[in-house]
Amino acid sequence: MAVPDGRLTNTDLERMLDTTDTWIVERTGIRERRVASPSDTAVTLGAAAGAAAIKDAGLTPGDIGLVLVATCTAPQVLPSAASLVQELLGLRCGALDVGAACAGFVYGLVAAAGMAGDQPVLLIGAETLTRITDPDDRGTRILFGDGAGAAVLGRPLDPTAGLLAWDLGCDGSAAPLLEVPVGDRYMRMEGGEVFRRAVRIVVESAAMALERAGLTPADVDVFVPHQANVRIIEAACSRLRIPMERAVVNLDRYGNTSAASVPIAMTEASEQGRLHKGDIVLLSGFGAGMTWASAVLRWDGEPA
Q: Does 284 bind ligand UT7 (CB under 6 A)?
A: no
Q: Does 191 bind ligand UT7 (CB under 6 A)?
A: yes
Q: Does 192 bind ligand UT7 (CB under 6 A)?
A: yes
Q: Does 229 bind ligand UT7 (CB under 6 A)?
A: yes
Surface-to-core class of residue 6, CB atoms within 10 Å of its CB (0-12 exposed, 13-18 middle, 19+ buried): middle
Q: Does 131 bind ligand UT7 (CB under 6 A)?
A: no
Of 41, 130, 256, 257, which lies in the binding site for ligand UT7, with binding defined by CB under 6 A?
256
Based on the residue annotation, tell me whether 72 is a catalytic residue of this protein.
Answer: no
Residues 6+ apart with CB under 8 A from 292: 103, 167, 168, 169, 170, 201, 202, 205, 284, 285, 286
Of 12, 23, 165, 169, which lies in the binding site for ligand UT7, with binding defined by CB under 6 A?
23
Of 184, 202, 170, 96, nearest in space to 140 by CA: 184
Q: What single string gives the DSSP state of each residue in 138-200? A: HHHHTTB-EEEEEEEE---SSTTSEEEEEEEEE-GGGGGGEE--TT-SS-EE-HHHHHHHHHH
Based on the residue annotation, tell me whether 226 is a catalytic residue of this protein.
Answer: yes
Q: Does 43 bind ligand UT7 (CB under 6 A)?
A: no
Identified catalytic residue from 102, 170, 229, 237: 102
Based on the residue annotation, tell me whether 276 is a catalytic residue of this protein.
Answer: no
Q: Which stretch binds ligand UT7 (CB under 6 A): 21-29, 115-123, 152-160, 164-172?
A: 21-29
Residues 6+ apart with CB under 8 A from 236: 199, 202, 203, 206, 225, 242, 284
Of 228, 237, 225, 205, nearest in space to 281 by CA: 225
Of 228, 251, 262, 297, which lies in the binding site for ligand UT7, with binding defined by CB under 6 A?
228
Nearer to ligand UT7, 168 or 228 (CB): 228
- Residue 19 C-alpha from the chain's centroid: 26
Nearer to ligand UT7, 154 or 225 (CB): 225
Q: Does 195 bind ligand UT7 (CB under 6 A)?
A: yes
Surface-to-core class of residue 107, CB atoms within 10 Å of its CB (0-12 exposed, 13-18 middle, 19+ buried): buried
Identified catalytic residue from 170, 226, 229, 237: 226
Q: How far is the CB of 36 from ligand UT7 (least distance, A)?
A: 18
Q: Which residues here bind ligand UT7, judged by CB under 6 A?
A: 19, 23, 27-28, 102, 138-139, 142, 178, 191-192, 194-195, 198, 228-229, 256, 287
Q: Which positions are catalytic?
A: 102, 226, 256
